[in-house]
């Protein structure tokens, strides 16, 4: 048989470096190696018990068949109600579609909008999947450097980057990998600018509920309808409810964009699992219980952050700003680079080989010279990791 030739669309993509790092950690564990996995952004908390029980309830009630491709009517309504209660957003169910995780939400949004040759603005550093989706659509990423402003995107930066072929901007706040949060007023300015220039915006809000005071969660779903016309919010339950394996997310976009995404999804995953949709809808309806569960996780992430960041700054060659949201430390290791470590990938490799610590190299995020450290893991793991890092990179 002839050699398999991969399609040009898929050949244009790179594998997900976050998933590759996570895979590496689990393979090492399978070999009996005691690994400290600081790679993937996956909550170490279990899914709250009441959500598991709701899924069982949905299953037992006979929700074992197809749902509409856009998701159960109940699921769409519960998102509308939750966003009204939590943020004061005025949405309608025809602006909501259920998806198999935030990643499929992003894929649906981009693939139903982009044509070959369209230009897509992506602020750097970016979550690894953004450019790959753009490549898959045969569109062209145009990167915006943000380091000069401590990795926070501004309307000025976007204004300078918009060109004749710009179709879309992808923003992510709180940000993976930097943990930075775009201030509410600035984000509104950015989206208003895009709306005035006919540029669409996908806002990846999967860390929305993990912003540490004084940073505040801001959802673009609250923007006035005329501005929201250009916006697609990609939401996810994965981080919010510590349910990464359940694969459930959603989009909030204008009814026409939503229809296009649902059409696309009806030919791929069809819809996320029926009783998982039920569990999420019911969980959102149990507003106080849900808020309490998320708040407990946020407080714990914040405690870890407060301990971890000063400690990382005490490791020779490491420099790390204070994340305002999400659960990643984004460490500048350029101070270590030289003959021994030509790249941050070499630093990551040495952590892996010498200390069995798995981190994600910055290159996949468009940030060579940095490492991403997930603190969605126990304090014990973090303490052990920091101790070993200090030894490994000790001066002299």
Smallest separation (angstroms) from ligand GLU to the CB of 324:
17
Query: Which CB atom, from 78 or from 251, has the smaller least distance to ligand GLU?
Result: 251
Q: Which is nearer to ligand GLU, 146 or 176 (CB)?
A: 176
Q: Identify which of 211, 147, 149, 191 has the alpha carbon closest to the alpha carbon of residue 366.
A: 147
- Measured in degrees and rounded to the nearest 5, phi and psi for residue 273 equal -50, 135
Angle at 198 between CA 81 and CA 154, to 5 degrees: 80
Q: Which residues pair with 249 in a beta bridge?
A: 99, 236
386 CB neighbour count, 10 Å cutoff: 19
Q: How far is the CB of 198 from ligand GLU (least distance, A)?
A: 30
Range 13-50 burial, b when 16+ CB lie within 10 A, else e: eeebbbeebbeebeebeeeeeebbbbbbbbbbeebbee
Residues found near ligand GLU in the complex (CB under 6 A): 16, 18-19, 40-42, 103, 127, 176
**How many residues are given for the chain?**
396
User: Which of residues 215 and 359 has its CB atom nearest to ligand GLU in the complex?
Assistant: 359
Closest contact distance (angstroms) between CB of 348 and ligand GLU is 14
Which residue lies nearest ligand GLU, judged by its C-beta? 41
Rounded to whole angstroms, the Cα distance separating 255 from 275 reads 25
Cβ nearer to ligand GLU, comparing 16 with 94: 16
Closer to ligand GLU by Cβ: residue 19 or 346: 19
**Per residue, what are the HEC states of 117-151?**
CCEEEEECCCCCHHHHHHHHCCCEEEEECCHHHCC
Minimum distance between the CB of residue 71 and ligand GLU, rounded to whole angstroms? 21
The distance of closest approach from Cβ of residue 374 to ligand GLU in the complex, given in angstroms and rounded to an integer, is 7
Beta carbon nearer to ligand GLU, 16 or 343: 16
In the bound complex, what is the minimum distance in angstroms from residue 211's beta carbon to ligand GLU? 17
Quote the least distance from Cβ 231 to ligand GLU, whole Å. 21
For the CB of residue 305, give the shortest distance to ligand GLU in the complex, in Å: 16
Instruction: State which residue, 18 or 220, has the beta carbon closest to ligand GLU.
Output: 18
CA distance 182 to 192: 14
Question: Which CB sits closer to ligand GLU, 58 or 131?
Answer: 131
| Pair 210, 174: CB distance under 8 Å | yes
CA distance 224 to 155: 18
Residue in the structure block whose two tokens are 């350029």: 334
């Amino acid at each position: 048989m002839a050699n398999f030739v991969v399609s040009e669309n898929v050949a244009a993509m790179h594998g997900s470096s976050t998933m590759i790092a996570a895979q590496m950690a689990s393979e090492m564990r399978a070999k009996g190696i005691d690994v400290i996995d600081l790679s993937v952004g996956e909550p170490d908390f279990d899914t709250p018990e009441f959500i598991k029980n709701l899924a069982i309830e949905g299953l037992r009630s006979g929700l074992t068949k197809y749902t509409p491709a856009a998701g159960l009517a109940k699921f769409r309504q519960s998102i509308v109600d939750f966003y009204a209660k939590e943020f004061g957003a005025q949405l309608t169910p025809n602006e909501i579609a259920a998806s198999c995780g935030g990643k499929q939400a992003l894929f649906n949004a981009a693939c139903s909008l982009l044509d070959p040759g369209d230009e897509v603005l992506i602020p750097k550093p970016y979550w690894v999947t953004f450019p790959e989706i753009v490549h898959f659509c045969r569109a062209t990423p145009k990167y915006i450097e943000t380091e000069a402003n401590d990795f926070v995107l501004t309307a000025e930066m976007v204004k300078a980057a918009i060109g004749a072929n710009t179709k879309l901007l992808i923003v992510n706040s709180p940000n993976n990998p930097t943990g930075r949060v775009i201030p509410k007023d600035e984000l509104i300015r950015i989206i208003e600018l895009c709306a005035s220039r006919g540029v669409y915006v996908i806002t990846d809000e999967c860390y929305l509920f993990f912003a540490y005071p004084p940073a505040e969660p801001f959802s673009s779903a609250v923007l006035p309808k005329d501005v929201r016309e250009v916006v697609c919010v990609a939401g996810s339950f994965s981080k919010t409810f510590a349910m990464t394996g359940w694969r459930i997310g959603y989009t909030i976009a204008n009814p026409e964009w939503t229809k296009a995404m649902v059409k696309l999804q009806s030919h791929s995953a069809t819809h996320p699992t029926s009783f998982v949709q039920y569990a999420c809808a019911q969980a959102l309806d149990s507003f106080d219980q849900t808020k309490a569960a998320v708040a407990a996780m946020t407080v714990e992430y914040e405690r870890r952050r407060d301990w971890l960041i000063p400690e990382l700054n005490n490791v020779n060659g490491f420099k790390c700003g204070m994340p305002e949201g999400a659960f990643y430390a984004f460490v500048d290791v350029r101070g270590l680079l030289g003959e021994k470590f030509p790249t941050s990938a070499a630093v990551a490799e040495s952590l892996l080989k010498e200390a069995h610590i798995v981190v994600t190299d910055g290159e996949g995020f468009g940030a060579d010279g940095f490492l991403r450290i997930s603190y969605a893991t126990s304090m014990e793991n973090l303490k052990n990791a920091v101790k070993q890092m200090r030894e490994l990179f000790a001066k002299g």
